[in-house]
Amino acid sequence: MLFVLIQINKLSLISVSQSYLKDGGTNASYFQNAGSTIMSWNFWSFSFYILFFTVGALMLYSTLYQSKLVPRWISVWGLIAAVMLLAGIVVEMLELLSGFPAGAKELIYAAPIAVNEMVLAVWLIVKGFNPSALEPDSGDLSVPAQSSSSLKPV
């Protein structure tokens, strides 16, 4: 939902640009401030969107690692990629690497998790979950069988 709002908010830049053109270029600082405010809102909302995404990815891949539903290498790769993305967005929010081109930084941070999710999708389509991980353990959660003598008719 947040991602949709971010994209819709970008469309408001069109309205600001059209208003600027209708105004004939006067009050340029007003329109520059409005545009800067919209771009800042887009940056921060997208940053929080990525933060929420990485928290979800960390929960997913840690669950997959513990349950052994997929090979461990996919889960470990996902955990490392999610941590990289989380570190990258924190670096972006704190503006620590301002000398690098914007697109290059996002590509470095986002590429590992993007490729990992595609590999996970193909793995699940082709191989599915690990069947042995789906079988219940013999002693953990099983319900003890009742003997027929303990069942009394009402």
Amino acid at 140: D
**What is the distance between the alpha carbons of residues 6 and 29, in angstroms, rounded to a whole number?**
24
Residue 140 lies in a domain: no
pLDDT higher than 60, residue 2: yes
Residue 83 lies in a domain: yes
* Domain, as residue range, for 115: 2-132
Residue 148 lies in a domain: no
- pLDDT tens digits, one per residue of 80-120: 999 999 998 888 888 777 777 767 777 888 899 999 999 99
Structural domain count, the chain: 1
pLDDT at 53: 92
Residue 26 lies in a domain: yes
- Please indicate whether residue 8 or residue 110 has the higher confidence score (pLDDT): 110
Residue 13 lies in a domain: yes
pLDDT at 27: 74
Supply 92's token pair: 């972006």
Q: What are phi and psi of 78, to 5 degrees?
A: -65, -40
pLDDT at 122: 95
Residue 147 lies in a domain: no
Banded model confidence at residue 147, pLDDT cuts 50, 70, 90: low
Residue 149 lies in a domain: no
In whole angstroms, how far apart are CA 152 and each of 71, 103, 137, 146?
Answer: 48, 73, 30, 12
Q: Where are the alpha helices (DSSP H) in 71-101?
A: 72-94
